C-alpha cells in the first residue's frame, strides 16, 4: 500500500486533546479522593475539592475552546454521524465486524481517516455521545455540585443533590471505563504507537486508523 502522511490533528486540536487529558486525569484523581476520603489518602479533602473545582473549570474552558474551534473551522461535521440510517448502519456494522473479526486476520480497516473524515462510524457515535451529551451533562452536574447554595433551587427541581451527585458519578464511571477502551484503541494502528504519535505530531499514515 502506498503510504503518505495525512494531517489528522491540527495543532489546536492536539493542544486541546492533551489539555483535556490532563484535566480528565486531575478530575479522576481528585474525584476519587473526594469520594473515598478515609480509604485514599493522597491529599486533604479540602485540597481535593479545590483542585477538582479548578480542573473542572479548566475543562469547561477547554470545552468552549473545542466548540469554538470546531464550529469556526467547519470541522464539527467529523462528530456528526450519518443521519441516514440505511447508510450508517451497514457502515457501522462493517466497522464492528472489522474490530470483532477482520482485525485479527489482518484485513484492512474499512475506514480511511482524513482531516475532514476523522472518525469511523463507531467512533463518530461514541464521540458524538461524549462531546454532545455526556460531557455537557457532566459539566452541568459538576457546576451544580460546585455551588449547591447558589443552585439549590435547580438541584431540587432535578431531584435533589443525591440524584445530581449520582448522575455526576455515573458519568465519571462511564468516562473512566471508556478511557481504557480509548487508550487501547490508540494502539490498534499500523504500529502500537502510530495513533499516539499522531496526536503529538498531527500527522498519520493514511488509512492506518
Partner 1 sequence: MSPSRDVPLRSRISPLYSILLFLTFPFMMLLPCRSSASADEADACLGCHGSPGMSMTLGDKSTMSVFVNSKELASSVHGKQGCTGCHADVDLNKHPSKSYASKKAFSDQQSKSCRNCHGDDRLFANPLHKRVLAREQAPACPSCHGSHAVRKAAQRTGRSSTTEYCLACHSQPLTKSVNGEMLSLTIDQIWLQESVHRNHECTDCHTAYSKAVHPLPKDLKSLRELSHAASETCSRCHLDKAVKVKDSIHAALLAAGEQKAPGCSDCHGAHRIGRGALEDTVAGNPCRKCHANIYDAYRTSVHGMNRMSEKTSGPLCAGCHQAHDVKPAMASRSPRSMCLGCHRNFENDHRQWLPNPQAHLEMVACTACHVPLAYKRSIYLRMTDGGTGKLLPEQEVLAALGPGAGKNGKIGPKDLWTAYRDLSAKRTVQVSVAVSMNERLNAHYLLPKIKAVRLCEECHAADSSFFQTAAVAMSGPDGREKLLAVDPKVLSSAYGVVFLKRFYVMSGTRITAMDYAGLALVLGGIAVPVVHGSLMALTAKRRKEKKQAS
Which chain residues interact with partner 1 by CB under 8 A? 34-39, 44-46, 49, 99, 103-106, 147-149, 152, 156, 159-163, 165-166, 169-170, 172-174, 176-181, 183-184, 188
Give the shortest CB-10-to-partner 1 separation in angstroms. 28
Nearer to partner 1, 7 or 147 (CB): 147
Give the shortest CB-86-to-partner 1 separation in angstroms. 29
Half-sphere exposure at residue 33, Cβ-oriented, CA atoms within 13 angstroms: 18
Give the shortest CB-176-to-partner 1 separation in angstroms. 5
Determine if residue 74 is left, alpha or beta; phi over 0 gives left, psi from -120 to 50 gives alpha, anything else beta. Answer: left
Nearer to partner 1, 52 or 118 (CB): 52
Q: Where are the beta strands (DSSP E) in 104-155?
A: none
Please report how the helices 11-35 and 45-73 are oriented relative to each other, as an axis angle in degrees rounded to 10: 150
Unique residue bearing C-alpha cell 480528565:
24
What do you get for the CA distance between the two ends of the chain, in Å? 14
Cell numbers standing for residue 12: 489546536
Spatial distance between the Cα atoms of 88 and 97, rounded to a whole number of angstroms: 14
3-state secondary structure of 74: coil
Residue 185's φ and ψ, nearest 5 degrees, are: -60, -30
Nearer to partner 1, 2 or 149 (CB): 149
Nearer to partner 1, 7 or 107 (CB): 107
Nearer to partner 1, 16 or 109 (CB): 109
Give the shortest CB-97-to-partner 1 separation in angstroms. 14
3-state secondary structure of 93: helix
Give the shortest CB-100-to-partner 1 separation in angstroms. 9
Amino acid at each position: 500500500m502506498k503510504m503518505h502522511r495525512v494531517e489528522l490533528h491540527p495543532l489546536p486540536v492536539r493542544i486541546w486533546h492533551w489539555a483535556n487529558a490532563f484535566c480528565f486525569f486531575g478530575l479522576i484523581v481528585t474525584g476519587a479522593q473526594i469520594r473515598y476520603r478515609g480509604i485514599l489518602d493522597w491529599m486533604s479533602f479540602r485540597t481535593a475539592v479545590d483542585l477538582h473545582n479548578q480542573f473542572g473549570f479548566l475543562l469547561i474552558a477547554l470545552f468552549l475552546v473545542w466548540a469554538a474551534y470546531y464550529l469556526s473551522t467547519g470541522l464539527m461535521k467529523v462528530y456528526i454521524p450519518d443521519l441516514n440510517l440505511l447508510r450508517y448502519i451497514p457502515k457501522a456494522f462493517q466497522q464492528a465486524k472489522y474490530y470483532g473479526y477482520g482485525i485479527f486476520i489482518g484485513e484492512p480497516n474499512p475506514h480511511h481517516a482524513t482531516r475532514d473524515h476523522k472518525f469511523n462510524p463507531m467512533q463518530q457515535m461514541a464521540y458524538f455521545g461524549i462531546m454532545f451529551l455526556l460531557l455537557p451533562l457532566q459539566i452541568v452536574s459538576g457546576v451544580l455540585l460546585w455551588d449547591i447554595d447558589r443552585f439549590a433551587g435547580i438541584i431540587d427541581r432535578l431531584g435533589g443533590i443525591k440524584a445530581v451527585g449520582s448522575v455526576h458519578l455515573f458519568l465519571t464511571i462511564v468516562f473512566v471505563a471508556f478511557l481504557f477502551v480509548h487508550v487501547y484503541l490508540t494502539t490498534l494502528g499500523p504500529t502500537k504507537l502510530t495513533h499516539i504519535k499522531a496526536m503529538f505530531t498531527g500527522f498519520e499514515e493514511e488509512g492506518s486508523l
